[in-house]
Amino acid sequence: MDLEKRPAADLRKRPATPAPERPAAQADGCLVVAIRLPVRILALIFVVPVRLLWDALVAVGRVLRDTVLRPVGRALAWLGHTLVVVPLSALWRCVLAPVGRALGLALAFAGKCLFVWPWVALWRYVAVPVALGVGWLLRMLLVVPAVWLYAYVLTPLGHGLAWLGRMLGAGAAGLGRGVRWALRMLFVVPAVALYTWVLAPVGRAVAWVARGVAAGVVWLLRGVVLVVGALLRWILVVPAVALWRWVLAPIGRGVAVVAREIGAALGHAWRVAGYVSRAVWRCVGRLLRWIFVDPARWVYRSVLTPVGHAVRDHVWRPAADAARAVGRGTRQAVAAARQSVRQARADVRRALFGAPRERVPAGEVPQGRRGPEDAKRVL
C-alpha cells in the first residue's frame, strides 16, 4: 500500500505549442502565367470536340456490346458447342475411345506373342540351362585348378619371395642412408651456405636499388597525371559544367514549365470537356426521352393497359372458362363411356365363361369338402 503523498497536480494553463508553419506555396512567375491562359484556351477548344466524340463512341460501343455483340457471341458459342464440341465428344466417346482401347489390347497381345513370350521361353528353357552348364564346366576346368595352384604353389613361393625381399630391403635401407648423407654433404650444405652468405645480401641490395627507382618513377608518373588531369579539367570539364549550368539547365527548365503547363491545360480541358459532354448528352437524352419514351409510356399506361385489361376480363377469361367447362364435360362423358364399356365387357365375359371363382386362402378348408381322415372315419 502506497502511503506517500502524491504531488499536487499543476492546474495552471500551459502555453499552447505553436503548430509548425507550413512553407508557403511558391508563386508562379510571369512567364508561367503568360503561358497558362492561352494554352488552356487552345486546349479547351481542341479537346471539347474530341471528348464529345469519345463519349458518343463509348455510348455506341456499350449499346453495340449489350444488344449485338454479346447475343451474337452467345449464339456463336452455342452453335459452336452444338456443331463442334458435342459431335466431337460423341465421336470420341462412342467411336474413337472404344476403337483405341480395342487396338491397344490387340497390339499389346500381339506384342507379347511376338516379343515377350519367345524371349521369356528362350531365357527360361535355353539360356539359363546352358549358362548353368557352362558355369559348372568353367568351375571344374578353371576355378578348382586355380585354387589348388594358389594354395599349394603360389602361396609358398610368395612367402619365400617376401623373406628375400625383406632381406634385400634391409641392405638397401643401409645403402640409402649412406647415399643420402653423401648427397646432403655434396649439394645441400653448399647450397645453403651460398644462399645465406652470397645470394641473400646481393638480393637485399638489388631490392633497395629497385625501391629507389620505383619511388622515382612513381613521383614522375604522379606529376604527369596531375598535369594531364588539370589540362583535361580546364579543357573539357569546366566548359561542360558551364554549358550545363548556363545554357542547358535554363532551357530545360523552360521546356519543363511549358510541358507542365500544356499537360495541366490538357487535363483541365479534358475535365471541362467531360462536364460539357455530360451536359450535352444529358440534354440529348432528355430530349429523346420527351420525344419517344414519355409518349410511349403514356400510350402504354393510358391506352394499351386498359385495352388489355378489358380484353382479358371480357374476352379471354369467359373464353377460358367456357373451354374449361367444355373440357370438363368431355372428360366426364369419356369416363362414363369407358365405364359403360368395362361393364359391358364384364357382362359378356360372365355370360360366356361364368362368374369368376372366389379365391380361398390356403390355410382354410371349405365346409363342403372333406379330407382323407374324414373319409376313413366314415368308413
pLDDT digits (tens, 9 = 90+) for 23-53: 444 455 555 566 666 766 766 677 777 877 8
Q: State what percent of residues in the chain have pLDDT above 70.
A: 82
Higher pLDDT, 19 or 175: 175
- Residue 12 has what DSSP assignment? S
**Contact (Cβ atoms closer than 8 angstroms) between residue 261 and residue 36:** yes
Nearest to 284 by CA among 56, 46, 63: 56
Largest CA distance in the chain: 165
pLDDT, residue 105, reads 92
Classify residue 131 as exposed, middle or buried by CB count within 10 Å of its CB (0-12, 13-18, 19+).
exposed
- Residue 23 has what DSSP assignment? P
Q: State what percent of residues in the chain have pLDDT above 90.
A: 17
**254 pLDDT exceeds 70?**
yes
pLDDT, residue 358, reads 63
First-to-last C-alpha distance (Å) of the chain = 124
> pLDDT digits over 270-311, tens only?
888 788 888 888 888 889 889 998 999 999 999 899 999 999
Contacts of 36 (CB under 8 A, 6+ apart): 28, 261, 264, 265
Q: How many CB atoms lie within 10 A of CB 277?
A: 20
pLDDT, residue 31, reads 54
Distance CA 141, CA 147 (A): 11
Q: What is the pTM of this model?
A: 0.32
Lowest mean pLDDT among 76-90, 127-141, 340-354: 340-354
Q: What type of residue sits at position 175? A: L
Q: How many CB atoms lie within 10 A of CB 324?
A: 10
Which phi and psi angles does 68 have, rounded to 5°? -120, -60
**Contact (Cβ atoms closer than 8 angstroms) between residue 276 and residue 48:** yes
Average pLDDT over residues 248-276: 84
Lowest mean pLDDT among 91-95, 174-178, 345-349, 364-368: 364-368
Cell numbers 548353368 label which residue? 132
Instruction: Note the helical H segments in the chain.
Output: 30-64, 70-80, 86-91, 97-111, 117-122, 128-138, 144-149, 155-183, 189-194, 200-232, 238-243, 249-288, 294-299, 305-311, 317-353, 372-378
pLDDT, residue 375, reads 43
**Contact (Cβ atoms closer than 8 angstroms) between residue 257 and residue 35:** yes
Distance CA 302, CA 308 (A): 11
Give the C-alpha distances (Å, rounded to integers) separating 74 from 69, 291, 375.
9, 33, 90
> pLDDT digits over 147-194, tens only?
888 888 888 888 888 888 888 888 788 788 888 888 888 888 888 888
Contacts of 257 (CB under 8 A, 6+ apart): 31, 32, 35
> pLDDT digits over 88-141, tens only?
999 999 989 999 999 999 999 998 888 888 888 889 888 889 998 898 898 888
Average pLDDT over residues 246-268: 85
